[in-house]
Chains A and B, each alone.
Chain A
Amino acid sequence: MTSTPSNERPSLLAIRDVCKTYAGVAALDNVSFDVGKGEIVGLLGDNGAGKSTLVNVMSGVVVPDSGSISWEGQPVSMHNRIDSAALGIETIFQESALVASMSVTRNIFMGRELTGRLGFLKQRAMREASAETLRGIVAIRGVKSTEQLVSSLSGGQKQAVAIARAVYYKRKLLVLDEPTSALAARATAALFEYIGVLREQGLSSVLVTHDLYDAYKICDRFVVLGRGQVVMSARREELELDDLFKFVSRG
């Protein structure tokens, strides 16, 4: 099967023939990867298949040896996370997304604080905006105040806050690296539901996960990597959950 960008969706991110070699070992070998607008792509594969490297390429942390990346039809080059964020890509890694010792509000506005003259914080405005952003998200139910420290939140709530932050800053593509690996079943469902809601609002996501059951329910398309190459790329309509299992386990 070949790479199949969705027919009906305009392209958001298009990675073409990207290679990356670490000490003679090809982490990515001519990988092409597409994300359409408003599309959730499941990025699957065994450990060492090249998922992390591809995620790092998308977040700008890894610069590929060859190949091209285009964003909304324009060729781009990214050299760090600031570059990718400027385009509208937010990479959310499991443990490093939020500062646990700070409040939810302070995390949402981290690095982009609302300030008045002389750089003093507009605390009230930030509290109002963060409460407004988080209100109604089922995945953070149980969080009583945006002044709560992030360390007091559950894993699912933390992920949801990190995603809500990306939404608040009008990011267009979320790259979620194993968002549910440490979550209970209910929290996973709530989080995926939230990502689904965001799709309705036009936000695209790349979901790196081992959780095939839940991923199958939500993703529009699946890309399976194995030994640095694209093993399979197909829309959900084209395959059954069993097929997915076969491809992932075969690598």
Chain B
Amino acid sequence: MTGTGFRIRVEGLSAFPVGTGKADKPADQERANLLPHGETGVNNKMTSRQERLVLEEGTEAAERPSVGEISGTPSSRVKRYSLMARLSPDQRYRVRQSALDFTALFIVIQVASVIASVIWPNSFAYINSANLLTGFEAIPLLGITAIGVGVLMIAGEFDLSVGANFIFSSIVMAMLANQGLPVFVAALIALAIGCGIGLLNGLITLWFRIPSLITTLGTTGIWTAATLYVHGAASETFTTSGAFATLTSGSVGVLPAELFWMIGLGVFCWAFLQRHRIGNHIFAVGGNARAANSTGISVRRTKLIAFAFAGTLAAFSGVLAASRVSVITPGGETDLPLQVIGACVIGGTALMGGSGTVLGMVLGAALLYWIEDVLLLLGAPGFYLDAFVGALIIAAAALYTVAKQRRVS
């Protein structure tokens, strides 16, 4: 016997008779089927009372088989009193697939920053309302775009054109609104443009069967040029008031509206990815397109949805930014695509597709911002930031690769 758990030995549980005995009564058979099957060959005359006794020997939650469990023996590697052991195997596997490990890292860095700022309040003004507010306004712009790109990455594709999309759709919105179109209509048009840019990326990628990295590298140039063509190189101002301003750049207490948009979108996307059929298809298509296809999932349609989603969220982020900053500069946001891909990678989204969590993407974006913030507070020169963030992305990718290999073996 291995491990700490109970093991029930009941014969005749396998679908075919390996041993000699079988549970004699239908009711027994049925009850036995609900139990995990152990090795065959010892005791099949177990009454329901005995079974209950055996089940109750293990008092921890870990030792009660749960819904999706096939065999009730907890892994011997899991220590009896560790937190993980308190979960059923079912729950344990789900926890391992969540962004929990990343969340822990995130919290550690946050706590360290807070402590540092308490010790050196003057030189390291981390808990400072101005610093925090800037963060809460800046992170959602990165985070919302990262969610879109992250979902697309799970589907196994990339979008480098989110920066150009961000600028183009928001500048068109500003132009239309400044010409007298109702601002809500202008914003909807911006979202439609973003969605269209995403769809076009998808159609080109799937139609010509070229890597989306190349497609979107190309469309980045096209939409950057399109911005200059429809608008020119001057900045566009965009001032709003009323309901639109409240919704996009208002605040609840000290918390800006963007933060709520990011949280709301995050919850929506989590439900969509983890609990909805289409989200499930996105994981399947990114994980193994051939296997997904052979079960009847339309790979093209699923990927197109993801492309459109990434484009729409990039445009939405652009709308929020325009409302907050009031100025849109053509040729801006060139760093955005790589930053959001970096945020997704830091948050544990697989570069080759097939896995990732919304929480990871959002926290990845937050971490990316906050690391920059901390370096600024420490007075590091600007070029250090880029180097540090670059190193962080590489380290994160390497770490996840190692962790994944360990998990598999």
Where the two chains meet, the residues of A that have a C-beta atom closer than 8 Å to any C-beta of B are 81-82, 85, 91, 96-103, 105-106, 110-113, 115, 118-121, 123-124, 127-128, 130-132, 134-138, 140-149, 151-152, 193, 196-197, 200
Interface positions, chain B 275-298, Cβ under 8 Å from A, are 275-278, 280-281, 283-284, 286-288, 290-297
Give Cα A180–Cα B287 distance, bound, in whole angstroms: 23
> Contact at B70–A134, with CB atoms within 8 Å?
yes
CB of B70 to closest CB in A, whole Å: 5
Nearest residue in A to B271 (C-beta to C-beta)? Answer: A120
> Contact at A131–B14, with CB atoms within 8 Å?
no
Interface positions, chain B 355-409, Cβ under 8 Å from A, are 355, 407-408
Question: Which one of A115, A121, A152 lies within 8 Å of B408 (CB-CB)?
Answer: A152
Does B73 have its Cβ within 8 Å of any Cβ on chain A?
yes
Residues on B with C-beta less than 8 A from A146 are: 68-70, 90
**A120-B275 contact in complex given A112-B296, A145-B70, C-beta closer than 8 Å:** yes
Give Cα A164–Cα B406 distance, bound, in whole angstroms: 28
Question: Which one of A82, A142, A149 lies within 8 Å of B296 (CB-CB)?
Answer: A82
CB of A179 to closest CB in B, whole Å: 15
Residues on A with C-beta less than 8 A from B64 are: none
> Contact at B296–A111, with CB atoms within 8 Å?
yes
**A99-B284 contact in complex given A110-B292, A136-B15, C-beta closer than 8 Å:** yes
> Contact at B90–A147, with CB atoms within 8 Å?
yes
> Contact at A101–B296, with CB atoms within 8 Å?
no
**A102-B276 contact in complex given A111-B292, A144-B73, A152-B408, C-beta closer than 8 Å:** no
Count chain B residues whose beta carbon lies closer than 8 angstroms to a beta carbon of A: 48
> Contact at A121–B288, with CB atoms within 8 Å?
no
CB of A132 to closest CB in B, whole Å: 8
CB of B239 to closest CB in A, whole Å: 39
Nearest residue in A to B280 (C-beta to C-beta)? Answer: A113
Nearest residue in B to A61 (C-beta to C-beta)? Answer: B294
Nearest residue in A to B18 (C-beta to C-beta)? Answer: A138
> Contact at A137–B15, with CB atoms within 8 Å?
yes
Q: List 30 A-B contacts (CB under 8 A).
A: A98-B288, A99-B287, A100-B288, A101-B286, A106-B284, A111-B284, A115-B277, A120-B271, A120-B276, A120-B277, A121-B276, A121-B277, A127-B68, A134-B70, A135-B13, A135-B33, A136-B13, A136-B14, A136-B15, A136-B33, A138-B18, A144-B70, A145-B70, A145-B89, A146-B69, A147-B93, A149-B93, A151-B407, A151-B408, A193-B16
CB of A130 to closest CB in B, whole Å: 7
> Contact at B276–A140, with CB atoms within 8 Å?
no
Give Cα A200–Cα B275 distance, bound, in whole angstroms: 37
Question: Which one of B37, B280, B355, B407 lies within 8 Å of A135 (CB-CB)?
Answer: B37
Does B354 have its Cβ within 8 Å of any Cβ on chain A?
yes
Residues on A with C-beta less than 8 A from B13 are: 135-136
Question: Which one of B68, B276, B407 lies within 8 Å of A152 (CB-CB)?
Answer: B407
Where the two chains meet, the residues of B that have a C-beta atom closer than 8 Å to any C-beta of A are 13-16, 18, 33, 37, 67-71, 73-75, 88-94, 97, 271, 275-278, 280-281, 283-284, 286-288, 290-297, 350, 354-355, 407-408
**A101-B280 contact in complex given A147-B93, A148-B93, A152-B407, C-beta closer than 8 Å:** no
Residue from B69, B70, B284 whose CB has the most chain A CB atoms within 10 Å: B70
Residues on A with C-beta less than 8 A from B278 are: 119
Residues on A with C-beta less than 8 A from B293 are: 81
The 9 A-B residue pairs with the shortest CB-CB distance, nearest first, are A111-B295, A127-B68, A101-B354, A99-B287, A147-B93, A146-B68, A101-B287, A145-B89, A197-B16
Given contacts A99-B291, A119-B278, A200-B16, 11 further A-B contacts (CB under 8 A): A99-B292, A101-B287, A106-B283, A110-B284, A111-B281, A119-B277, A131-B69, A136-B13, A145-B90, A146-B69, A147-B91
Nearest residue in A to B285 (C-beta to C-beta)? Answer: A99
> Contact at B70–A131, with CB atoms within 8 Å?
yes
CB of A177 to closest CB in B, whole Å: 12
Question: Which one of A118, A128, A136 lies within 8 Å of B68 (CB-CB)?
Answer: A128
**A99-B354 contact in complex given A149-B93, A149-B97, C-beta closer than 8 Å:** yes
